[in-house]
Amino acid sequence: MSEALGRIRQFLTTHAPAMPCLVIDVDDVVARFGEFRAHFPTARACYAVKANPAPAIVRALAEAGAEFDVASPAEIDLCLREGAAPRSLSYGNPIKKATDIAYAYDRGVREFVTDSAGDIDNLAAHAPGAQVTVRLSVDAPASVTPFGRKFGCGPELAVDLLQRAERSGLDAAGLAFHVGSQQLDRSAWDIAIGTAAKVFAELTTLDLRRLNLGGGFGVSYAGEAPDLEQYASTVHHSLDAHFPGHTPEIVFEPGRILTAEAGLIRTEVVLVKPGDPRWVYLDIGRYNGLAETENEYIAYRIETVERHPETDGPVILAGPTCDGDDVLYQHTPYRLPSDLKAGERLDILSAGAYTASYSSVSFNGIAPLRTYCLVDGKLADEL
């Protein structure tokens, strides 16, 4: 058991908070940020706030020297309130209202990601002189939770958009891409970097100098993911191969890889319905924290808190709501103790990313996922 997991379970034992709840060890997040910077020492690391926007996390990362990938005015306000400098924020969402752009610019944000002519025109009007990176759509291998075709543009359009930005008085700084969340195929970065290099080569008349590689680094859930050293080796090799002699300024947007393994969800069994297999209903489901179980994309590791005999059996895991889609796992094989009863507790591991931030406001009257943040093993924030 890791030191962070030990601190989390000690807190749960001592305080016995109401379930379900997410507990985050903030010191572990900061340590993982340090590890990330050690593997990419010359790159900028902009924490993807959407992964987990707990103020204690943002505050600690700001103190550790992180920059931030924000997607809305609310995330901008959060980061500024927790000590981030305005120039450390990159507005990475290419889908934004003109009023959102004006709001961000008024608060000192000067870096934006875009992928359309309309957005560039809004940036020119409401964020004059701002730095712009154009997001590429890349033909990378499918990730565990892919973006589809919602974001990005092809290389030819990227050329046009960068030229349009420059003509509009914006600073055409470079390109961005994202290979998909929880990307387990490291070749995805080589494909994307190679595509970006071709656009750089075509636009030598512009001062392109920045390449934003996004996030997507996976963590180990029920299955294994490459470790950070393996990811870093692939990225460095690809940059050397596709940008020989001159690597652009590199930006990352790490989210999941910093917070996922620093968090644990404790949940209570609501009901066990006998059958073959049994149905086990939890007090947490797709609408109050486990959105990433949709299509069973993310298979969390689950452990029982109470001790049981060695006998177990297959189960279907479902959430507590009256929605028929609130089923977590019916195809992924999960096994739980044969004598599991209502009222017993389960721990969902590596649950610090895309859980509380995906939780609904109050579907079926169920409150959003309660979050506790620990610093030095003590409660820092309760959300």
Which active-site residues does the annotation give? 322
Q: Which of 24, 10, 53 is nearest to 264 (CA)?
A: 24
Distance (Å, rounded) from C-alpha 347 to C-alpha 305?
7
**173 burial via Cβ count (<10 Å: 0-12, 13-18, 19+):** buried
Radius of gyration for the chain, computed over Cα atoms and rounded to the nearest angstrom: 22
97-110 burial, b at 16+ Cβ within 10 Å, e below that, comes to: eeebbebbbeeebb
> What is the 3 state secondary structure string of the chain?
CCHHHHHHHHHHHHHCCCCCEEEEEHHHHHHHHHHHHHHCCCCEEEEEHHHCCCHHHHHHHHHCCCEEEECCHHHHHHHHHCCCCHHHEEECCCCCCHHHHHHHHHCCCCEEEECCHHHHHHHHHHCCCCEEEEEECCCCCCCCECCCCCCCECHHHHHHHHHHHHHCCCEEEEEECCCCECECCCHHHHHHHHHHHHHHHHCCCCCCCEEECCCCECCCCCCCCCCHHHHHHHHHHHHHHHCCCCCCEEEECCCHHHHHHHEEEEEEEEEEECCCCEEEEECCCCCCCCHHHHHHCCCCCEEECCCCCCCEEEEEEECCCCCCCCEEEEEEEEEEECCCCCCCEEEECCCCCCCHHHCCCCHHHCCCCEEEEEECCEEEEEC
